[in-house]
């Protein structure tokens, strides 16, 4: 790299020639004036860097783009500005908010920034950074007759990494991603997951010479003309939600899992990973319980023979009960068909309650209350289990039928007499997307005294 000057520094002794080793130059553009609302950025850059060549890439700090576009608000409106620019809150710690903003970027404070702007003001990000980059590129083509790439940059923190770096939030004329999948490395190994974020790498290179406090908002990279290309935009750098394993903050992930837990009655034939079920059980047994007990037992019905024996025995017991109730054979057949959710799911779990450690009072009311405590604790464990399954991407349906024939279930599964089956859970991949659930506000379920 060179000093902040458009002329490359002298080569060190024994430096490889360009024909021997790939190389590029990067320098900050000196002489940029203070940018005001309404300024023509392309003209300001052209005046400061008249020697731009075809194939150069400009790295332009988003702050001067925001200033030129009038994206300035009063500092006392910063929190309101963050709210207005926020689509969703990803994480929060004290006053700090990590949010997804209107441009689809996940970043601190929606990109609303108080640095490098006049006292008493803050800057919003450009409304459409890709369009801003395209306008600057078109202006430079007209003013200097050059074909350059333009990247609008901003400073980001990164998950799991200390420190800040510049990344591309807008681009024009640059291939923002270099997809190497399908190729091979130097040893002939296939590249199956390598997609290089070229625009982000260029942004970081520019930041090394622009700095954060030197008042040098524009840099030029020369020697990488192969990265230029049409039709790309920085929006392509934002990972689609469906592919983003780390999209949610901790509290948002919990809320998402709870709200996305839905009763699924139609499953695909895709097998369920038993390890995922065991992880859900591990979450289930963190539920609260009375007297420091552990009242939960989860029977994982993984054997097809055990599953068939259980469901056949439950069906026969149910039919017998319905006949005793005087139901017609047609009515019985319909009811049995509705119970096929357990039979059609690829995986079956039977949660059970045990009352080891329960207190005995010799008083009917108090003994009944003791059992109720264990039932509530078991229900909390089952809810944990269902939510954890949702977090694993699995659908589920809790069905109460085992509670009506506990002796039959214990016999079919070979369970101890003190294990009380508390329903059954069908587990699998949902065959179709769940219907939209109408919002359910909390107020109707709250009483305040």
Selection from 228, 229, 209, 232 nearest residue 220 by Cα:
209
pLDDT of 194 reads 75
The tokens describing 219, both together, are: 């840099």
By CB neighbour count within 10 A (0-12 exposed, 13-18 middle, 19+ buried), where does 20 fall?
A: exposed
Domains located in the chain, CATH noted? 25-71+126-243 (3.30.1330.100), 250-445 (3.40.109.10)
Separation of alpha carbons 359 and 370, rounded Å: 7
DSSP track, 270-319: PPP-HHHHHHHHHHHTTS--GGG---EEEEEE--HHHHHHHHHHHHHHHH
Q: Which residues of 194-232 are buried (b: 16+ CB within 10 A; e: fewer)?
A: eeebbbbbbbbbbbebbeeeeebbbbbbbebbebbeeeb
* Tens digit of pLDDT at every position of the chain (449 positions): 444 444 444 444 444 455 567 899 999 999 999 999 999 999 999 999 999 999 999 999 999 999 999 999 888 888 888 889 999 888 887 788 888 899 989 988 888 988 778 888 889 999 999 999 999 999 999 999 999 999 999 998 888 889 999 999 999 999 999 877 677 777 777 776 678 899 999 999 999 999 776 789 999 999 999 999 988 889 888 888 777 777 777 666 666 667 777 888 899 999 999 999 999 999 999 999 999 999 999 999 999 999 999 999 998 998 888 888 888 888 888 887 766 788 889 999 999 999 999 999 989 899 999 999 999 999 999 999 999 998 888 999 999 989 999 999 999 999 999 999 999 999 999 998 877 778 888 899 999 99
What does the alpha-carbon distance between residue 427 and residue 389 come to, in Å, rounded to a whole number?
8
| Predicted model pTM | 0.64
Q: Specify whether the CB–CB gap between 295 and 359 falls below 8 A.
A: no
Between CA 6 and CA 41 the distance in angstroms is 19
Give the whole-angstrom CA distance, residue 120 versus residue 76. 8
Place of tokens 């450690």: 357
Phi and psi angles of residue 320, each rounded to the nearest 5 degrees, phi first: -60, -40
pLDDT for 224 = 94
């Amino acid at each position: 790299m060179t000093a902040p000057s458009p002329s490359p520094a002298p080569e060190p002794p024994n430096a490889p020639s360009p024909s021997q080793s790939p190389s590029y130059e990067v320098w900050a553009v000196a002489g940029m004036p203070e940018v005001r609302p309404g300024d023509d950025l392309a003209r300001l850059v052209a005046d400061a860097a008249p020697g731009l060549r075809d194939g150069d890439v400009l790295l332009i700090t988003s702050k001067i783009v925001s200033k030129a576009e009038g994206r300035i608000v009063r500092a006392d409106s910063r929190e309101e500005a963050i709210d207005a620019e926020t689509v969703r809150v990803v994480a929060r710690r004290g006053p700090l908010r990590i949010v997804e903003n209107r441009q689809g970027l996940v970043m601190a404070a929606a990109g609303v920034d108080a640095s490098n702007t006049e006292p008493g003001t803050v800057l919003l990000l450009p409304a459409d950074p890709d369009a801003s980059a395209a306008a600057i590129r078109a202006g430079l083509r007209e003013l200097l007759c050059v074909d350059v790439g333009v990247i609008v940059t901003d400073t980001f923190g990164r998950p799991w990494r200390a420190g800040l770096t510049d990344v591309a939030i807008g681009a024009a004329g640059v291939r923002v991603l270099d997809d190497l999948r399908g190729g091979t490395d130097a040893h002939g190994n296939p590249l199956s997951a390598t997609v290089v974020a070229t625009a982000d790498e260029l942004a970081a290179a520019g930041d090394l010479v622009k700095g954060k406090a030197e008042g040098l908002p524009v840099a030029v990279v020369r020697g990488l003309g192969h990265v230029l290309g049409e039709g790309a935009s920085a929006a392509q750098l934002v990972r689609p939600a469906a592919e983003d394993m780390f999209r949610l903050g901790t509290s948002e992930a919990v809320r998402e899992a709870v709200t996305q837990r839905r009763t699924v009655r139609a499953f695909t034939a895709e097998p369920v990973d038993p390890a995922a079920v065991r992880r859900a059980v591990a979450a289930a047994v963190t539920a609260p319980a009375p007297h420091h007990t552990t009242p939960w037992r989860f029977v994982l019905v993984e054997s097809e023979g055990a599953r068939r024996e259980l469901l056949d025995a439950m069906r026969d017991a149910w039919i017998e009960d319905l006949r005793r109730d005087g139901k017609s054979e047609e009515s019985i057949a319909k009811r049995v068909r509705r119970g096929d959710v357990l039979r059609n799911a690829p995986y079956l779990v039977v949660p059970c309650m045990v009352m080891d450690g329960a207190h005995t009072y010799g008083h009917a009311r108090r003994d009944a209350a003791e059992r109720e405590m264990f039932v509530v604790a078991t229900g909390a464990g089952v809810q944990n289990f269902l939510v954890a399954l949702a977090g694993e991407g699995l659908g589920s349906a809790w069905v109460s039928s085992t509670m009506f024939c506990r002796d039959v279930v214990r016999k079919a599964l070979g369970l101890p007499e003190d294990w009380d089956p508390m329903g059954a859970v069908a587990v699998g991949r949902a065959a179709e997307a769940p219907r939209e659930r109408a919002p359910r506000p909390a107020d109707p379920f709250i009483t305040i005294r």
